[in-house]
Structure 1
């Protein structure tokens, strides 16, 4: 889950072109900075998940460690993030890969249609079987891992024998002016090099999805934290090698012409149409599976909030299908919301940028709240049942907090106006529903129920048996 959600293929294929335009080839060196920052955040989330291993991640933690009202808003923001990043990831396939793979001109219209069909296909798989979804994920992650390793080796090898590797390009600003390149920027604009961090910031997110399936995982207090940090480290190393290979084979960066499919263009040029297309098929499989994992995580968050009678229309979404044993209704809801978001963004010429920008802003907000909660409540948390930071706790918190502040400062750039409007609109909708709950039922009704076994809950929903007593 953690590796598949991050997905090197998805993140880099989506944002590499924008990074070249804003930061030039040298922008790839922001990648290690992001890896270290996100690793610190993952260690904190891992420590939390080892103490409170329950489906709903930030919704559960914020509700139980601060107050249910604040927790509800964080749960709503988590849902907002998962819904928009689902669209951003699925849109990557028709926007950055398929036009090169099948030789047609990609447009906003055909990207919209294809992305909508992908969401429907993912919804069908998730609604029918969690085991099938798991198998698709395992297959895709294996394909991506070995495929990306093979791709890196082939790019370096073929580039070397054809004498096309130019490592000097790795330190070129390309078409971006060198003057003021490393500056922090102004009040409403971020410096060119700083904008390059968005490449990693969009890619290395979603590792916390492992915590969102804690109740469906054996020994989550051990497995979940390990999955998160191992995913980030492996993606960090492999992603850096891939970025070096692609950038060294890009050609003259000073004459770079913006392309919607720069990485696919490099792969096809260097490896030829047959091998290149086979590897692009691997990329499509990886991106599809990444979207499916995001979709799965979104259904679990909706189900968890509905189980606690918190989500709008919870009476429908908390139900478990008696035949498929999945939250099928919650799956349908996520699919519908995804189609609505697609319709909103699809008519924009820079729809992909707007989608991935919104999908980058939201997790940063969630990570900031998670780090703050952990720092404030760390001495009052339940004892760890697996993973612990030990003597490294304070340094990890300090580095994570500094990284989050730096990352949030990037989004003051005027180019993020539309994504901020999306975030504000979704926050406003959530606030209205929260006000309705409080007005009708009162704040007392928002009290969180005791933690209980998800297996017992599912068995009771399916068989109609009485629930056992809640267990800590």
Structure 2
């Protein structure tokens, strides 16, 4: 195993992986800060807030900002559970190997399938969302064609950077984090100084967003901005074999991602809320793009270009992190011989220190999804509708596996444990996750055709159903002799 960093850390990491049944080919070139930056840029406060601010403000009014705090606390519970698991099982691929060790190969297959599809679709949604910003920066006419071309260019650039290896990825993540956090602070700070139109009291005033109905229903719909915001911390564990002293550092990086990313997202959202001059116009639909209007007024043409550049760096960094996570997940699958074509997908480039063929898949599949949008403008919307649901489903499949294992005797034995708080935190994380999933799939457009009203639920059923069908037909677990379901057994043996 080629490594860098502390000799003691490297030796300990190698011994821990050997005990888990693996010899890593990755280079441990990713520092704690680079690992945190990877999670932060995947979570991306700028991408999340700028994408959904207008919709959430229109649906729930200014109080929608409180969803960021509520969801942040819920996802922190999930991150704590993940921290215990990755500390004991610091294996590349994250969610798939965690589910494998906690439950078994069949559960791991389904968990990884759902999460992989969600990651690949999310890459497509991020680069597609970046397309109009890149076109505007280059003074191109924003259209479907230019958006697609710009999105494909983003995929090519992200893939080229990822092929540079762990050290290049870490540097890119640090640059992305620095750019995004400075941009968030500067833009947010300037808006609070020069464009603030309201006091903090508006955060408790719906401005009639509920339209005579229940505000709770409006708030739950608007809270999707929080639900869409708080994931990415799991990417810290996807690259576990590239981080020295992974058992200690990755749980810390996960928590840092929630703390810093959540604070940055809330600050950006607060600055934008207080800078919107007329909430009524947003709620009524008269002002459908309050973010662009606020930025144009605050920064002018030249300043808006700078802000666009910062936003694009955020989108690129987010795509980089997603692609890295997806490639490591598929590599972990292939290394365990759980995928068709595992012999090719498990190949590793020692010169670059990355799995090149899974990176290629993480580029080609999103590119195909982007190209499909050319034939039907709402096709990508329908495909992307599953993305966040898939992420949350993948999360909760691991949280449920951890709870099952815990009830059967599993006692986390990594460097990071919650001790006697483990069980209540695990239960609370599962309850939160189920509630978030129900909120995502809840039908909210009764006037639309039934298939549109249940679009998110249907997309989830299709992907999970396809995963189960492949599991039954292909039975990929037959070809794998990698260790599985050992968490409970090891605990019973007292190890």
**TM class by smaller structure:** 0.7 to 0.9
1:290 to 307, 318, 323: 318
Q: CA deviation at 1:428?
A: 4.0
Deviations 1:221-260 (A, max 9, x none): 1111111111111122222121111011111111224667
Matched with 1:199 is: 225
Residue 306 (str. 1) matches residue 334 (str. 2)? yes
1:117 to 153, 173, 181: 153
TM-score, normalization by structure 2? 0.81
* SS of 2:292 mapped into structure 1: helix
Matched with 1:153 is: 189
2:128 to 84, 91, 96: 91
CA distance in 1, matches of 2:56, 2:376: 19
Matched with 1:7 is: 44
Do the aligned residues in 1 keep the contact of 2:83 with 2:416 (CA within 8 Å)? Answer: yes
Superposed CA RMSD: 2.6
1:16-95 map, 5 Å: 16-95=53-132
Residue 240 (str. 1) matches residue 273 (str. 2)? no
CA distance in 1, matches of 2:223, 2:237: 25
CA distance in 2, matches of 1:211, 1:154: 35
1:211-226 map, 5 Å: 211-226=237-252
Q: Which moved more, 1:216-225 or 1:378-387?
A: 378-387
Q: CA deviation at 1:175?
A: 6.5
Matched with 2:398 is: 370
CA distance in 1, matches of 2:415, 2:370: 40
Matched with 2:471 is: 434
Do the aligned residues in 2 keep the contact of 1:88 with 1:355 (CA within 8 Å)? Answer: no
Matched with 2:34 is: none
Matched with 1:458 is: none
1:281 to 289, 294, 309: 309
Q: What is the total number of aligned residue pairs between the two structures?
A: 438
Deviations 1:252-278 (A, max 9, x none): 111224667532331221222223321
* SS of 1:177 mapped into structure 2: coil
Q: Which moved more, 1:351-360 or 1:278-287?
A: 351-360
Give structure 2 stretches of 5+ with no counterpart.
Answer: 1-37, 445-451, 486-494
CA distance in 1, matches of 2:381, 2:326: 22
Do the aligned residues in 1 keep the contact of 2:100 with 2:484 (CA within 8 Å)? Answer: no
Q: Which moved more, 1:279-288 or 1:411-420?
A: 411-420
Residue 445 (str. 1) matches residue 475 (str. 2)? no
CA distance in 1, matches of 2:332, 2:161: 20
Matched with 1:126 is: 162
Matched with 2:4 is: none
CA distance in 2, matches of 1:326, 1:445: 24
Do the aligned residues in 1 keep the contact of 2:84 with 2:414 (CA within 8 Å)? Answer: no
Deviations 1:50-81 (A, max 9, x none): 11111122211222221211211111111111
CA distance in 2, matches of 1:435, 1:50: 32
CA distance in 2, matches of 1:365, 1:258: 36
Matched with 1:464 is: none
Give structure 1 stretches of 5+ with no counterpart.
Answer: 184-190, 452-471
